[in-house]
A and B are shown apart, each in its own frame.
Chain A
């Protein structure tokens, strides 16, 4: 197991120890939500959502547009109320203690928006004031967030002039202004370029690691969920259709990288099926599709191919099985949300 794998295990131990003395971050039972228009029929957005988010966990909500992710996060954050069901946030009753809940949570929304003409520092100050911060404490928190999220160069830049990436960074900085115990991140990397997406993911990991807060995030992006989340719930048409760790979901659904080899000549397909990290093999004449478990950050822990040298060794082993054949074509495709839903729909 690699260093990162050890890190995750250590985090689990910490979390488990923590759980014995703290409440679950979210306990939702039978949450349903309909939107009613003036004359039209009510549209059901969420149906019977049952969900527990453990304290200290990064929990992912995945689903296509319209699956109910934003609505569910908005209900968890008490911005809107469900039609039915019960909700407990950090041990506080979601119906009777909403004011208390709002003090200990915060949210960074998809497509972040703030008052246009306020600068980065002014926006943080304004929201700090709404959370009841004052005096030197408020100034300190504003300075801390600007430093922590590397916004110093843009401190006096108005929100309307910030790039999409900076707006997203400001949004997460705002979400940390009250040092929440539970942070909601709604599609935190939507609209960002790959470099900024990676920086944002690193930022989320850092916040979670350093401040030991629970995080519920929604995303369209499967690798992002895999990288960040301890567990994932897949939403479709307002219902949870799968819930588990990324690893177990991929195993259950036999999802992974799809390596397609087109070849001429003999190849040991049976040996392929026995190789560690190979989740499935679909063979046809001169063509084989191999589903690989890339595993976590480690190099091939417990049968996964892993990354880095472990992954290279695994791929090397597969290619060697074609040593007697002539490889005509070879492609690798990452599993994406579409693959997951195709599998879940079967």
Chain B
């Protein structure tokens, strides 16, 4: 098969997610309503607490990161969630696609949606709260976004694995995992305030390092970006391998058939 055919196998998931999203009224909530509620809540809280500009940046970076993480991860998870909800998962896995086609295609759409949300939130936070997301230039922004999107892909893959392992009820994982990330990776506070066990867990999450890196633009401090990049690449690779294994296991257990009935 030539490269165009191979490319279309990736784009198939992005195409399905795009069509489904544009016809879903809840997309408006996902892209605008909840992100704005989150940003405005945190922004107004900083005013109430009369924190300085660097702390405003710290909190708004967390709010923006969490929002685009949630948007992008759900897009990756949607690649199987939509199939599971419509009971059409059988048709996907009868075709000659591999796990990476599905994940990267859906992640591509998640990156587009996440970038749109980032643009909106960055603009609003600049206008209302004086937060300049480009203070360190464009490269740190791109690195930060790259890290958030990689983490989103890993969470989305984890949701897909849980669907293929536990079946219909596993979609709760889609809504829960980003909450756990919120708690552990220092979205609204430095990880140093966490209990030792959770601090250790935070050090295993690439998002922790990408947040530290981006925040170091606004509040000078140490960061370990290379560790974050390594962990993100490692989890992505591990996630894809585990997803491939989960698909094969689902074919052996017959859960793929039950998910279509």
Chain B residues 59 to 101 lying within 8 A of chain A, measured CB to CB, are 82-83, 86-88, 90-97, 101
Chain A residues 157 to 199 lying within 8 A of chain B, measured CB to CB, are 158-159, 174, 178
The verdict on A80 contacting chain B, using a C-beta distance below 8 Å, is: yes
Size class of the A contact interface (CB-based, 8 Å):
35 or more
Known A71-B254, A109-B260, A115-B16: A102·B87 in contact at CB below 8 Å: no
- The CA of A74 and the CA of B89, in the complex, are separated in Å by 13
Q: Are B257 and A33 in contact (CB under 8 A)?
A: no
Q: Are B20 and A115 in contact (CB under 8 A)?
A: yes
Q: Are B96 and A135 in contact (CB under 8 A)?
A: no
The verdict on B169 contacting chain A, using a C-beta distance below 8 Å, is: no
Residue of A nearest to B12 (CB): A129
The smallest beta-carbon distance between B25 and chain A, in angstroms, is: 11
**1/0 contact string of A138-161 vs chain B (CB within 8 Å):** 100000000000000000001100
The verdict on B137 contacting chain A, using a C-beta distance below 8 Å, is: no
The verdict on A117 contacting chain B, using a C-beta distance below 8 Å, is: yes
Q: Are B257 and A70 in contact (CB under 8 A)?
A: yes
**1/0 contact string of A88-117 vs chain B (CB within 8 Å):** 000000000001001101110101011111
Q: Are B95 and A117 in contact (CB under 8 A)?
A: no
The smallest beta-carbon distance between B38 and chain A, in angstroms, is: 27
Interface hit among A52-60, A119-127, A230-238, A319-327: A119-127
Q: Are A135 and B91 in contact (CB under 8 A)?
A: no
The verdict on B19 contacting chain A, using a C-beta distance below 8 Å, is: yes
Known A79-B251, A130-B12: A117·B20 in contact at CB below 8 Å: yes
Contacts of B256 in A (CB 8 A): 79-80
The verdict on B253 contacting chain A, using a C-beta distance below 8 Å, is: yes
The verdict on B1 contacting chain A, using a C-beta distance below 8 Å, is: yes
Known A118-B16, A132-B1: A81·B251 in contact at CB below 8 Å: yes
Q: Are A103 and B96 in contact (CB under 8 A)?
A: yes
Contacts of B7 in A (CB 8 A): 134
Known A70-B257, A80-B251: A113·B86 in contact at CB below 8 Å: yes
The verdict on A77 contacting chain B, using a C-beta distance below 8 Å, is: yes
The verdict on B11 contacting chain A, using a C-beta distance below 8 Å, is: yes
Q: Are B23 and A126 in contact (CB under 8 A)?
A: no
- The CA of A79 and the CA of B5, in the complex, are separated in Å by 22
Contacts of A116 in B (CB 8 A): 86
The smallest beta-carbon distance between B171 and chain A, in angstroms, is: 16
Q: Are A129 and B91 in contact (CB under 8 A)?
A: no
- The CA of A35 and the CA of B251, in the complex, are separated in Å by 11
Contacts of B253 in A (CB 8 A): 35-36
Contacts of B15 in A (CB 8 A): 122, 125-126, 129
The smallest beta-carbon distance between A229 and chain B, in angstroms, is: 22
Known A122-B19, A126-B16, A129-B11: A135·B4 in contact at CB below 8 Å: yes
Residue of B nearest to A83 (CB): B252
Residue of A nearest to B255 (CB): A80
* Count of CB-CB pairs between chains A and B under 8 Å: 106
The verdict on B24 contacting chain A, using a C-beta distance below 8 Å, is: yes
Partner of B94, one of A70, A79, A132: A79
The verdict on A203 contacting chain B, using a C-beta distance below 8 Å, is: no
The smallest beta-carbon distance between B180 and chain A, in angstroms, is: 25
- The CA of A204 and the CA of B14, in the complex, are separated in Å by 32
The smallest beta-carbon distance between A43 and chain B, in angstroms, is: 10
Contacts of A130 in B (CB 8 A): 9, 12, 92, 95-97, 101
Chain A residues 201 to 253 lying within 8 A of chain B, measured CB to CB, are none
Q: Are B93 and A79 in contact (CB under 8 A)?
A: yes
The verdict on B132 contacting chain A, using a C-beta distance below 8 Å, is: no
Partner of A74, one of B1, B5, B97, B257: B257
Q: Are B5 and A132 in contact (CB under 8 A)?
A: yes
The smallest beta-carbon distance between B167 and chain A, in angstroms, is: 11
- The CA of A159 and the CA of B82, in the complex, are separated in Å by 13
Q: Are B260 and A81 in contact (CB under 8 A)?
A: no
The smallest beta-carbon distance between B253 and chain A, in angstroms, is: 7
Contacts of A158 in B (CB 8 A): 23
The verdict on A288 contacting chain B, using a C-beta distance below 8 Å, is: no
Of the listed residues B11, B16, B83, B101, the one surrounded by the most CB atoms of chain A closer than 10 A to its CB is B16
The verdict on A275 contacting chain B, using a C-beta distance below 8 Å, is: no
Contacts of A113 in B (CB 8 A): 86-88, 91, 260
Q: Can you name 22 A-B pairs with beta carbons within 8 Å?
A: A77-B94, A79-B257, A81-B252, A105-B94, A107-B90, A107-B94, A109-B90, A111-B261, A115-B83, A116-B86, A118-B19, A126-B12, A126-B15, A126-B19, A129-B8, A129-B11, A130-B9, A130-B101, A132-B8, A132-B96, A134-B8, A135-B4
If A113-B91, A117-B20, A130-B96 are given as contacts, then 18 extra A-B residue pairs at C-beta distance below 8 Å, sorted by A number, are A35-B253, A71-B257, A74-B90, A107-B90, A107-B94, A113-B87, A115-B19, A118-B20, A122-B15, A126-B19, A129-B15, A130-B9, A131-B95, A134-B7, A158-B23, A159-B86, A174-B91, A178-B95
Q: Which 7 A-B pairs have the closest CB atoms?
A: A132-B5, A129-B12, A102-B96, A130-B95, A113-B87, A134-B8, A129-B8
